[in-house]
Structure formats: C-alpha cells, structure tokens
C-alpha cells in the first residue's frame, strides 16, 4: 500500500508570512493526525481528525494555525502568520485502529 | 491525563551487546503501547505494538518489548545491537477517549551503537 504523502518536504519563509502543508493519508484510514516536532523533542499533537470531523485540537494555537480535512481524505495545515518558534518538522500520520503511519514530514524554517 | 516517560535522553551500547530503551506510562484504562524509530530527516517508522495478549511483543528488525502492567513499563530490547540501529526511538501510549484513540508520545531516546 502507498504510504502517507506530505508536501512540500522543505519550506523556508520569513516571519509573519503564511504557509500551508498538505497531507494525503493511506486510503481507508479514518483517523488523521498533524504533529509538530521541534528539534530534540517528541511529536506534539496539533490536531486529530476522525473522518472529516475534529476530535482533538486542544494543543492547536488557533490564533494562527488552522487545519481542514475535506471529504475525509486529504488534509491541509496552515500557519498565518508564522512566528520564529514555529520552526519545526510537521508530521502527518494516519491510522486505522491506533497504530500510526507517518509521512516523511515537512521541515519548516521561519527566518 | 495520560503520559509517557522515557527517562534516558541517550543510550550508548557497543555493537553486538544487548540494548534496552526504557519507557514507562500513565493512563486510565487499558493502554495500547507502541514503539517507533526515527532516522535523520525521516518520519517515524512503526516497530511494534502491544494491544493485548502475550506480554512479550516481537517487532521489526529483531526488536522486542515487554509489557509490565505492575510497573507500567514497556521497555524496548534487542539481544544484539547493530550500528544501523543508531536512531531516535519514541514510545507512545494510546487509549480510547470519547470514541477516539488519544495518542501521547514520549520525548524520545537517542540510541548510539558504537562499532
């Protein structure tokens, strides 16, 4: 089966600019996660979707981050405006029954 | 709130020696437990999981982990370390909350296998 696809792999922006990441999960996986992984730390859950509904966004900075999962398949994560502390790897994962399958991630550098 | 602790930032082991990467957890109810490995500039790769049944779980690349309910631990082990095992290892716990699986990751342990 094809894995979780993410794009772009790398993105460099200046602070206060906007950026969007895209994720295509494994076909049939109802659950989709976006994680933020800052260098030297474990992944931190930003938002979790069950089909196209949000089940957990308690750690999403909603004043600048937004995410959507249209039709319960692909998802986009947006940051507007970006801050220096948003520099991190953004990981998308999908699952069917708890075990997560991760994409390669998008490395964001905010200058 | 559920949590995962990986008490060692880094584990160093000589090639050919056994390795252990420690993980303890705190969760209400029955846990699902996972180990993932992350190589540089890569996403997390699944190694193994415990859902129910035999406490000793075998996974990819010769790794295994033992679920210990009384000690709330799920340590990752391998009988003979390879240099290629050098990577970042994450323990995760998942539990059912309000109809969905809530997943929490540890901060990771860097494994360095010395030739």
What per-residue confidence (pLDDT) applies to B23?
98
What per-residue confidence (pLDDT) applies to A1?
62
What element of type H or E holds A53? Answer: strand A53-56
A53 touches chain B (CB under 8 A): no
Kindly determine whether residue A91 and residue B34, on different chains, have CB atoms separated by under 8 Å.
no
Which of A43, A97, A103 faces B105 most closely, judged by CB atoms? Answer: A43
CB A96 within 8 A of CB A29: yes
A39 interaction partners in chain B (CB closer than 8 Å): none
Kindly determine whether residue A98 and residue B32, on different chains, have CB atoms separated by under 8 Å.
yes
Which of A33, A42, A104 faces B108 most closely, judged by CB atoms? Answer: A42
pLDDT in tens, A1-14: 679 999 999 999 99
Alpha-carbon span A52 to B75, nearest angstrom: 35
**Closest Cα of chain A to B44: distance in Å?**
6
Count of residues for chain A? 111
Q: Output DSSP code: residue B31.
A: P
What per-residue confidence (pLDDT) applies to A19?
97
pLDDT in tens, A16-44: 999 999 999 999 898 999 999 998 888 99
**Closest Cα of chain A to B8: distance in Å?**
13
What per-residue confidence (pLDDT) applies to B99?
75
A103 interaction partners in chain B (CB closer than 8 Å): 43
**Closest Cα of chain A to B15: distance in Å?**
24
What per-residue confidence (pLDDT) applies to B32?
92
Best of A42, A45, A47, A69 to mutate (most B CBs within 10 Å, chain B): A42
pLDDT in tens, B63-75: 999 999 999 999 9
- Give residue for tokens 């030739």: B115
pLDDT in tens, A44-85: 999 999 988 999 999 999 999 999 998 889 999 999 999 999
What does pLDDT average to over chain A?
A: 92
Alpha-carbon span B25 to B23, nearest angstrom: 7
User: Cα dihedral sign for B94, B95, B99, B102?
Assistant: negative
B108 touches chain A (CB under 8 A): yes
In sequence order, the β-bridge partners of residue A92 are A34
Within chain B, strands assigned E span: 3-5, 10-14, 19-21, 24-26, 32-38, 44-50, 56-58, 64-68, 73-78, 87-97, 100-105, 109-114
Mean pLDDT by 10 residues, chain B (115 residues): 92 97 93 92 89 91 95 97 96 85 90 96
């Amino acid at each position: 089966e094809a894995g979780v696809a993410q794009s772009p792999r790398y993105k460099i922006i200046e602070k206060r600019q906007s950026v969007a990441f895209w994720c295509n999960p494994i076909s049939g996986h109802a659950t989709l996660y976006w994680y933020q992984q800052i260098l030297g730390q474990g992944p931190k859950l930003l938002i979790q979707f069950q089909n196209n509904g949000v089940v957990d966004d308690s750690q999403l900075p909603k004043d600048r981050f937004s995410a959507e999962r249209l039709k319960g398949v692909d998802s986009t994560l947006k940051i507007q405006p970006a801050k220096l502390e948003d520099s991190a790897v953004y990981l998308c994962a999908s699952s069917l029954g708890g075990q997560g399958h991760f994409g390669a991630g998008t490395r964001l550098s905010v200058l | 709130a559920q949590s995962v602790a990986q008490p060692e930032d880094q584990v160093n082991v000589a090639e050919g020696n056994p390795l252990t990467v420690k993980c303890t957890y705190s969760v209400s109810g029955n846990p699902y437990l996972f180990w993932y490995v992350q190589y540089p500039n890569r996403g997390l790769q699944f190694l193994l999981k415990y859902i129910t049944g035999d406490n000793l779980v075998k996974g990819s690349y010769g790794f295994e982990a033992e679920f210990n309910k009384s000690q709330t631990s799920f340590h990752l082990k391998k009988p003979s370390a390879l240099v290629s095992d050098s990577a970042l290892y994450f323990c995760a716990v998942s539990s059912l909350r309000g109809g969905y699986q809530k997943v929490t990751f540890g901060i990771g342990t860097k494994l360095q296998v010395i030739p």
